[in-house]
Homo-oligomer: A and B are copies of this chain.
Amino acid sequence: MLIRLGYDITFDCPGSAPIIALLKVHSSRVQDLRKPDVLTIEPATSTEYYFDSFGNYCCRFLAPAGSIRLSNSTVIYDTGKPDPVSPWAREIPVHELPTNVLGYLLNSRYCEVDRMSNIAVELFGGIAPGWNRVQAVCDWVHQKVTFGYQYANAMKTALDVFTHRVGVCRDFQHLAVTICRALNIPARYATGYLGDIGVPASSAPMDFSAWFEVYLEDRWWTFDARNNQSRIGRVLMAVGRDASDVALTTSFGTTNLQQFTVVTEELLAHEAAHS
């Protein structure tokens, strides 16, 4: 399956503002790209690319005062298979985990592992470790939290979600990530493209999406407490401890969002031929 990916984002900047953008397909999927994955910036601006400590491919630039447009259109190959499900995947004891995943057991801004620790153990400590326990966390979060765009609040933490029980996509993932970490399961926040392939199309405009990954057995696996179902066509862009690490754009100055569209949809055969 081929998937067309892209975005078109315009900011208005009252003054020049440094911006860090995580708007590239993640290095783990680069080999699947069928067209170049080029972040176009208008007006043309000097950019610097680098990998952050989480392995995300970041672009840094100084947005000049005025309007700035970030856009991209590319095509990626996808197996067309839903997120893998591996009920036999085990939780790994902390002292046997690869050392490079240990940081995903710790606190972060929106994931207060310390404050949620007793709660997590009371709710899920009695469930047998492994894939099914992580799934139980997702089921619980999915069932208990009500989705609504009006509940978006950039400063909302996992504990806030636990008490308020309302939120947007990122809030579901933050709560699930925090519970997993409190159970000593490495968990990280993920963002990327996620279209409607295989599910009823949403009436909401397409957007980037958030999900999360947990380390079980010998690798990271995809979970999604918001949708709580295996989905086709996720394209990872960035991972980190929480939304603070993987904001698609982080501005160090005032930037007013003027326009924002995201495209992620299956490329039909005849389109693919001409794309």
Residues of A at under 8 Å CB distance from B?
18, 20, 48, 50, 52-54, 58, 60-62, 93-95, 99-100, 102-103, 105-112, 114-116, 118-119, 144, 150, 152-155, 159, 162-165, 184, 244-245, 250, 252
Contacts and interface: CB of A to CB of B under 8 A. Distances in A.
A107 B241 CA distance: 11
Nearest to A62: B95
A61 B252 contact: no
Nearest to A103: B53
A155 B52 contact: no
A67 B115 CA distance: 27
B52 A107 contact: no
A58 B163 contact: no
B144 A118 contact: yes
How many copies of the chain does the oligomer comprise?
4
Contacts of A52: 99, 102-103
A243 to B, nearest CB: 9
A256 to B, nearest CB: 12
Contact of A95 (B60, B102, B112, B114): B60
Given A50-B100, A150-B150, 9 more contacts: A48-B99, A107-B108, A107-B109, A109-B114, A115-B163, A115-B164, A119-B162, A155-B163, A184-B252
Contacts of A105: 252
